[in-house]
Amino acid sequence: METIIISEILASKPHHIRTVTPYACVTDAVRLMNRYNIGALLVMDEGVLLGIITERDVLFRVVGQHLEPEATLVSDVMTRGLVTVTPHTTLQEAMHRVTEQRVRHLPVLDDDQLVGVVSSGDLTRAITNALEREVDALSSKIPIAPNHMLDV
């Protein structure tokens, strides 16, 4: 399979990075996720990436702990210690990180600056597209027998 890097995947995505501040309440974060039909928001404060809040964070750390979403700050339930990649990380390495670290979203940092985020779905789509291109390329190299040779 061809070598694909994260910058190529980012180029094929809309350039919207959805974020929330650590001071927002969980209800506001959930409203944003619902509005944009996404499963996570990056948590940023004054341009600094602090963490991520995901559907799973809300499920386990808010609902599961019987916390009031309106009274709970994003900073109290977000995931810290993010698993990140760079624009030059290969697709295979990113998939390895997603699998080994059991995460679904990888912020993309270039010199400590946030330039995007890729999800496990983005990575899977890139692999599928690459494999389809490979199958097409290999199929075009297979000689097709004339119709009379197919008759048995």
- The 3-state DSSP class for residue 44 equals strand
Please state the pTM of the whole predicted model: 0.84
pLDDT at 150: 58
> What confidence score (pLDDT) does residue 143 get?
75
Confidence bin at 50 (pLDDT 50/70/90):
very high
Lowest mean pLDDT among 16-30, 54-68, 131-145: 131-145
Distance of alpha carbon 84 from alpha carbon 74, whole angstroms: 20
The average pLDDT across 127-148 equals 79
Let me know if 11 is exposed, middle or buried by CB neighbors in 10 A (0-12, 13-18, 19+).
exposed
Secondary-structure class of domain 6-143 per CATH: alpha beta
Q: For residue 116, what is the enclosing H or E element? A: strand 113-119
What pLDDT, on a 0 to 100 scale, did the predictor assign at position 101? 95
Domain boundaries, the chain: 6-143
